[in-house]
Amino acid sequence: MTEFGDLLAKCERTAFKLEFRDQYMTGDPGYLAWEAGDLTEAVRLYSEWTATARTAIARGVDMRRVRVVSEPVSTYIAFEHAVTPGVNLAAGEAIRWLPRRLASDLALPGNDVWIFDGRMVQFCHFAGDGAWVFNDETDDPAIVTLCSSAFAAAWDRATDHEEYRIQSSC
């Protein structure tokens, strides 16, 4: 298994991500800071991610992410939406949101996935409670094509972060 940072460092053109979970690591310090009402601290705790993404984007890598979400959104998705401007957008990453109900007719992979340069994918596996379990990657052309097509379809249908208004029961 290759570390994400190493994959991004080797990336030359595009790094696209599809996310499907409504909850990730709820013990994460950034999430806990946001939950305690400290958005500034939550964003600061992701500064390493922001710097890593900014470095790749400065080299010319087009970074995009689609978050497929249930509505009303979970508390965790409300957190992601709140930190996106200071974490992802600040780095230059483009973020779009796709309500799950609008993705029913799309062929999507079963796990979160990064697609690097349209040549390799890294699947991200999580436990039911959102804890990270492991990543695996493949350069199998059929799988890369499936994931690339899925990303393109989701991207075309999704709403830019600046325009997406979360529906929350929180």
Structural domains in the chain? 4-58+70-160 (3.30.870)
Q: Read off the pTM.
A: 0.95
User: Each residue of 89-120: pLDDT tens digit?
Assistant: 999 999 999 999 999 999 999 999 999 999 99
How many Å apart are CA 123 and CA 137, to the nearest integer?
A: 6
169 to each of 71, 75, 114, how far by Cα in Å?
9, 8, 30
- pLDDT, tens only, 25-84: 889 999 999 999 999 999 999 999 999 999 999 999 999 999 999 999 999 999 999 999
d(CA 44, CA 33): 10
Whether 11 and 121 have beta carbons less than 8 Å apart is answered as: no
